[in-house]
Amino acid sequence: AQSVTQLDSHVSVSEGTPVLLRCNYSSSYSPSLFWYVQHPNKGLQLLLKYTSAATLVKGINGFEAEFKKSETSFHLTKPSAHMSDAAEYFCVVSGPAKAAGNKLTFGGGTRVLVKP
């Protein structure tokens, strides 16, 4: 079984300051991990993915995430928040590979508020 825990339901940052969204996962196999973003009334958009290559993954819009197997974590960061980063962010684990397709298990989400 696999699960994802996002440690903060809400994060509030000032524009221009760093953003940190925390995610821990549980998996009995080598997982693929993703971060998706969801803007209001919009579809989920892939920010980045980890698939057992480099542990530091760079995504779109200046986001990056680091896979730490020893801590079972996959935290998302951005050095400088922009107003357009206000959205809901989901940490996601995929698999197992033997299962049908690449079924995703979502965390509960973290809502990011960016203050001017």
| Cβ proximity to another protein, 15 vs 96, nearer residue | 96
Report 95-114 residues binding another protein (CB under 8 A). Answer: 95-97, 99-109
Handedness of CA 76, 56, 15, 35 (dihedral sign): negative
Candidate list 2, 44, 62, 64; residue touching another protein; CB under 8 A: 44
Handedness of CA 90, 37, 92, 50 (dihedral sign): negative
DSSP annotation of 16 reads T
Does position 59 interact with another protein (CB under 8 A)? The reply is no
CA 23 to chain CA centroid, nearest Å: 7
Does position 27 interact with another protein (CB under 8 A)? The reply is no
Q: Which residues bind another protein (CB under 8 A)?
A: 32, 34, 36, 41-46, 49, 51, 90, 94-97, 99-109
